[in-house]
Amino acid sequence: MKVLITGGAGFIGSNFVHTMLEKHASDQFVIVDKLTYAGNLRNLDGAVQNSRVQFVRMDIGDPAVVELARGCDAVVHFAAESHVDRSIEDASPFLRTNVEGTWRLVEACRSARVGRFIHVSTDEVYGSVAPDERSTELSPLAPTSPYAASKAASDIFVQSAVRTYGLPAIITRCTNNYGPFQFPEKFIPLMISQALAGQPLPIYGDGRNVRDWIHVSDHCMALDLILRKGKDGEIYNVGGGCELENIVIAKKILTTLGKSEDLLHFVSDRPAHDRRYALDCTKLKNDLDWTPASEFDAGLAGTVRWYQENKAWLDETRSGEYRKYFERHYTRREETLAMSGRIAVK
> Catalytic amino acids?
123-124, 147
- Least distance between ligand DAU and beta carbon 101 (Å): 15
- Cβ pair 322, 189 in contact under 8 A: no
Of 108, 85, 81, give the one whose Cα is nearest residue 95: 81
Closer to ligand NAD by CB, 39 or 202: give it: 39
* Binding partner of residue 204 among ligand DAU, ligand NAD, none, CB cut-off 5 to 8 Å per kind: ligand DAU
Of 167, 64, 134, give the one whose Cα is nearest residue 285: 134
Closer to ligand NAD by CB, 169 or 263: give it: 169
Closer to ligand NAD by CB, 6 or 28: give it: 6
Sign of torsion over alpha carbons 182, 184, 185, 191: positive
Closer to ligand DAU by CB, 1 or 196: give it: 196
Closer to ligand DAU by CB, 48 or 141: give it: 141
Q: Label residue 50 left, alpha or beta by phi (over 0 means left) and psi (-120 to 50 means alpha).
A: beta
Which residues of this chain interact with ligand NAD, rule CB under 6 A? 6-7, 9-13, 32-36, 38-39, 59-61, 78-82, 97, 101, 120, 122, 151, 174, 176-177, 183
- Least distance between ligand DAU and beta carbon 84 (Å): 4
- Helix, coil or strand: residue 172: strand
* Binding partner of residue 299 among ligand DAU, ligand NAD, none, CB cut-off 5 to 8 Å per kind: none
Q: Which long-range contacts (CB under 8 A, 24 or more apart) does 232-235 make?
A: 232/116, 232/162, 232/168, 232/169, 232/170, 233/162, 233/168, 233/169, 233/170, 234/137, 234/170, 234/171, 234/287, 235/137, 235/155, 235/170, 235/171, 235/172, 235/173
- Least distance between ligand NAD and beta carbon 198 (Å): 26
* Binding partner of residue 190 among ligand DAU, ligand NAD, none, CB cut-off 5 to 8 Å per kind: ligand DAU
Which residues of this chain interact with ligand DAU, rule CB under 6 A? 82-84, 122-124, 175-176, 186-187, 190, 202-204, 209, 211, 246, 270, 277
* Binding partner of residue 224 among ligand DAU, ligand NAD, none, CB cut-off 5 to 8 Å per kind: none
Of 277, 283, 290, 216, give the one whose Cα is nearest residue 246: 277
CA atoms of 64 and 61, how far apart (whole Å): 9
